Amino acid sequence: MKRRELLYAVLALLGIWLIMAWLVDQPILPSPTDVAVTFVEEIISGELLQHFTASLWRVLVSTMLAIAIAAPIGLILGQSKRLDGLFSPVIYLLYPIPKVVLVPIVLLFFGIGNFPKIVIIFMILFFQILVLVRDRAANIQPELVNSVRSLGAGRRALFRYVYLPASVPGILTALRQSIGTAVAVLYIAELFATQTGLGYYIHFNGSTLFDYPAMYAGILAMALMGLGLYFAVDWLEHRIARWQFVN
C-alpha cells in the first residue's frame, strides 16, 4: 500500500463521518472537527493522555511478557515431538476459548489495578505466539538442521542460529494477528475495577458525564493505539524479517 492511498482512505472515512454527523444532527454523533478539537484539548490538559499511557503500558507489558514466556515454550515444544504430544491436547482445548469470557474470573481473582488487565491480554497473546512459534520450529527442514550441525553446531549454536531466528516471524505474525483483539479485550477489562485506561475514560464520559465529544476522543485514541501497534509490528516485520518480502 502506498502512503498516498492510505491518506485518501483516511480522508474518505472522515468525509463519510462528517456527512453522517450532519444528517443525524444529534449530540450522540458529533462531527469529526468537534471531536478533533476535544481530542487535542484533552491531550494537552493531560486528561486523555494519562488514560492513553495507562492502556498502552498494559498492552506493552503484557506483550513483552507473552513473548518472553510463550516463545521459549513454543520453541521447546516445536523441537520435541514427545513434549508436544504431551501438551498439545491441552493447548488444543484452551486455544480456541475466547479469552474475553474469562474477564470476570480474572477480575474476581486479581481484583483492582493493572495486574488483571495485563493477565487478560497476556492470555490472548500467549496462546497465539505459542502455537505459531511451535509450528515454525516444528516445520524447520531436517536438512537445514543437519547442514548446520555438520558445520559444527551443537544444541546451543542450533538454538542461536536456527531455531531462534526461525521463530521471529512466528512471533511477529502472532502479534499482527492478535494485537487488535488484545486492544479490544483491554477495553472490556478497563470497564471494571479501574479508574485509569481508555476503556474507563470512554465509558465514564459516555454514560456518566454524557460528554460525547470526549467519549469520541477516547474512541479515537483507542483506535489510534490499535492502528499504531499494528503499524509498529508491520514495520518491525519489514525490518527484521525482510527476507519474507523479497522476491
Q: Which positions touch another protein (CB under 8 A)?
A: 141, 143-144, 146-154, 156-157, 160-162, 165-166, 168-169, 241, 243, 246-247
DSSP letters, 117-161, are HHHHHHHHHHHHHHHHHHHHHHTS-HHHHHHHHHTT--HHHHIII
Estimate the crossing angle of helix 47-79 against helix 198-207, to 10 degrees: 140
Please identify, using beta-carbon distances, which residue of 24 and 160 lies nearer to another protein.
160
Q: Is 239 exposed, middle or buried (0-12, 13-18, 19+ CB in 10 A)?
A: exposed
What distances in angstroms separate CA 182 from CA 14, 34, 118, 176, 245, one per listed residue? 25, 29, 10, 10, 26
Of 101 and 151, which CB lies nearer to another protein in the complex structure? 151
Chain Cα centroid distance, residue 16: 27
23 versus 151: smaller Cβ distance to another protein: 151
What residue has cell string 547442514? 147
Distance (Å, whole) CA 129 – CA 70: 6
Reference 52, options 228, 234, 212, 233; nearest CA is 228
| Least Cβ distance, residue 142 to another protein (angstroms) | 8
Least Å distance, CB 28 to another protein, is 50
Q: For another protein, which is the closer residue by CB, 139 or 207?
A: 139
In the complex, minimum distance from the CB of residue 106 to another protein, in angstroms, rounded to a whole number = 37
Residue 245 CA from chain centroid, whole number: 22
Which grid cell sits at 111? Answer: 481484583
- Please, which residue, 14 or 166, has the CB nearer to another protein? 166
CB of 230 to another protein, least distance (A): 23
Nearer to another protein, 82 or 243 (CB): 243
The distance of closest approach from Cβ of residue 242 to another protein in the complex, given in angstroms and rounded to an integer, is 8
Nearer to another protein, 43 or 168 (CB): 168
Q: How far is the CB of 163 from another protein (least distance, A)?
A: 11
Selection from 57, 173, 69, 76 nearest residue 117 by Cα? 57
